[in-house]
DNA sequence: CAGAATCCTTTACGATACTG
DNA sequence: CAGTATCGTAAAGGATTCTG
């Protein structure tokens, strides 16, 4: 197997243009971390402490086992999550936010709060553009 | 043309599972808005006021004209940005954050600040996992 | 200059089945 | 139960060219 870990919010690729601007700015790093469907959702789902994959799937809903593993591996790769495997049968695994990962909860919460406050407006705008 | 506006952070699709959890939670709406490479970057790039596409491309760097247009259209569709076209030659167009879009600047700033503070740690983790 | 039209490559994500 | 292996689809994003 190839174990590709690049791509979506795996390795951050800085676009190297001639002029130094937002492209290679630090902010891009954070944006790239969220630039996929599940990264933020999983961090959010782990906010209360260690959690097993099955439990995560139950909490989140709509994520396939494959994508769940991929995403958790990405987060681990970026130092946001740790994986702990207990040698038992049936197997037991727990994922947990690292201290670094936990620091992301603040900004993520900000978005949660934003959605709670402004979600209606976004949906209204969408419907407006669908039925003009 | 088909003018597809669904997909990445266009229309928010709520995963309808049996149990109501994070999947159909409001937070997903905000996460989906950021779940692509350029949405957040563009909002960020528009934070100081109206801006023309060419200027945006210059500020951001590494975005193709096609993707720039697509992304701005998505933001417009979601009510976060307005497009104003002046009837002139050569053509002039300006994009501007809506009041709603501007409310996203707070959360986005939070991520910018986070990146400024913790970006090194992420990059360190990445390198560590690349060269063990 | 804005942006539409094409073409192309990558990959994210899903469904499913299988292994230890 | 955790995770991998496959297969398949959709779409994101890039490069390029063309037009008003």
| pLDDT > 70? residue A68 | yes
Helices (H), chain A: 26-34, 39-45, 53-60, 65-77, 99-102, 105-130
pLDDT at A76: 96
Q: What confidence score (pLDDT) does residue B28 get?
A: 84
Say yes or no for a CB contact (<8 Å) between B22 and A15.
no
Question: CA-CA distances (angstroms) from residue A16 to A22, A31, B27, B114, B126?
Answer: 11, 17, 33, 22, 19
Which chain A residue's Cα is nearest to B122?
Answer: A78
Encode pLDDT of B10-20 as tens digits.
Answer: 554 443 333 44
Q: What is the mean pLDDT of chain A?
A: 84
- B31-48: pLDDT as tens digits: 889 899 999 999 999 999
How far, in Å, are A27, A101, A102, B25, B89 from residue B41 at the CA level? 8, 22, 23, 24, 29
Whole-number percent of chain B with pLDDT over 90 = 61
For A55, the closest chain B residue by CA position comes to B21
B21 CB-side CA count, 13 A? 16
- For residue B6, is pLDDT > 90? no
Q: How much is the pTM?
A: 0.86
Mean pLDDT, rounded, for A78-93: 95
Over residues B94-115, the pLDDT tens digits come to 999 999 999 999 999 999 899 9
Q: Give the residue with minimal CA–C1' separation from D11.
A: B7
**What's the pLDDT tens digit per position in A5-21?**
445 555 544 443 334 44
The pLDDT confidence band at residue A3, using thresholds 50, 70 and 90, is: very low
- The whole-angstrom separation of Cα A59 and Cα B32 is 17
Contact B114 A100 (CB under 8 A): no
């Amino acid at each position: 197997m190839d174990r590709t870990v690049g791509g979506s919010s795996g390795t951050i690729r800085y676009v190297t243009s001639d002029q130094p601007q937002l492209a290679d700015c630090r902010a891009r790093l954070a944006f790239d971390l969220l630039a996929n469907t599940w990264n933020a959702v999983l961090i959010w789902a782990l906010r209360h402490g260690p959690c097993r994959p099955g439990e995560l799937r139950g909490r989140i809903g709509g994520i396939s086992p494959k994508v769940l593993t991929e995403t958790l591996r990405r987060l681990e790769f970026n130092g946001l999550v740790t994986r702990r495997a207990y040698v038992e049968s049936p197997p037991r695994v727990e994922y947990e936010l690292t201290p670094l990962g936990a620091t992301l909860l603040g900004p993520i919460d900000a978005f949660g709060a934003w959605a709670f406050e402004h979600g209606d407006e976004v949906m209204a705008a969408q419907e407006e553009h669908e039925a003009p």
